[in-house]
């Protein structure tokens, strides 16, 4: 956005119109931290990472969402005026049609989702093959980082050991970063 060099550790803003992430330096990032900055075209991606151990998502709800894999992320797209779902794969992030009645049930059962900022935060869900579920409210750039890891490491039909080691490591690191959610978070 400006002529300042961007280092490996940098921030992002979302271009709401094009649905793209833009790498920015700290000064440019701060310009877009307030609602309505740049006429609402750009929004700064926040840094909060929250884990809700009591997050409720049943197997029946997951099946109703029609996500064919064990990893997905969900966010409110303000341009469309609705929530959208994506799942990462070796070809990138694939959009999945989201049954809005099921999504409304999930939101009603999980107050954390009512705090999710449109366009710039996402619910990232991981349902490992071994069972269990890990759910995090994260900045929107975090799921796309995971997409990059999957694209980089995926081999063959099932991904291979290297990809699954990287995916599990990603979620372990995220769990270390995330703070537990409380209704006042």
Q: What's the mean pLDDT in 176-181?
A: 95
Looking at the structure, tell me whether residues 126 and 145 fall in a common domain.
yes
Phi, psi of 124 (to 5 degrees): -110, 120
**Is 57 inside any structural domain?**
yes
pLDDT at residue number 7: 84
Beta strand 50-51 pairing with 134-139? antiparallel
Looking at the structure, tell me whether residues 91 and 164 fall in a common domain.
yes
Looking at the structure, tell me whether residues 54 and 141 fall in a common domain.
yes
DSSP 3-state of 132: coil
Q: In this model, does residue 183 exceed pLDDT 70?
A: no
- Its domain, for residue 174, covers 50-180
Locate tokens 């075209």: which residue? 41
Q: What's the mean pLDDT in 94-108?
A: 89
**Is 169 inside any structural domain?**
yes
Locate tokens 């890891």: which residue? 149
Which stretches of the chain are assigned E, i.e. beta strand? 11-15, 20-24, 42-44, 50-51, 71-77, 82-89, 92-96, 121-126, 134-139, 179-180
Percentage of the chain with pLDDT > 70? 98
**Is 140 inside any structural domain?**
yes
Q: In this model, does residue 185 exceed pLDDT 70?
A: no
């Amino acid at each position: 956005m400006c002529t300042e060099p961007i280092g490996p550790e940098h921030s992002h803003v979302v271009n709401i119109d094009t649905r793209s992430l833009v790498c920015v330096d700290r000064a440019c990032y701060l310009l877009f931290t307030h609602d309505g900055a740049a006429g609402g075209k750009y929004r700064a991606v926040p840094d909060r990472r929250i884990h809700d151990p009591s997050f409720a998502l049943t197997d029946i709800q997951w099946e109703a969402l029609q996500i064919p894999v064990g990893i997905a992320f969900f966010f409110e797209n303000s341009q469309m005026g609705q929530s959208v779902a994506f799942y990462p794969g070796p070809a990138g992030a694939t959009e999945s049609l989201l049954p809005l009645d099921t999504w409304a049930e999930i939101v009603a059962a999980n107050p954390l989702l009512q705090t999710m900022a449109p366009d710039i935060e996402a619910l990232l869900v991981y349902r490992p093959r071994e069972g269990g579920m890990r759910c995090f409210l994260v900045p929107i750039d975090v799921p796309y980082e995971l997409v990059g890891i999957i694209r980089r490491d995926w081999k063959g039909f099932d991904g291979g050991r290297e990809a699954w080691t990287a995916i599990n490591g990603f979620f372990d690191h995220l769990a270390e970063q995330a703070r537990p959610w409380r209704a006042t978070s």
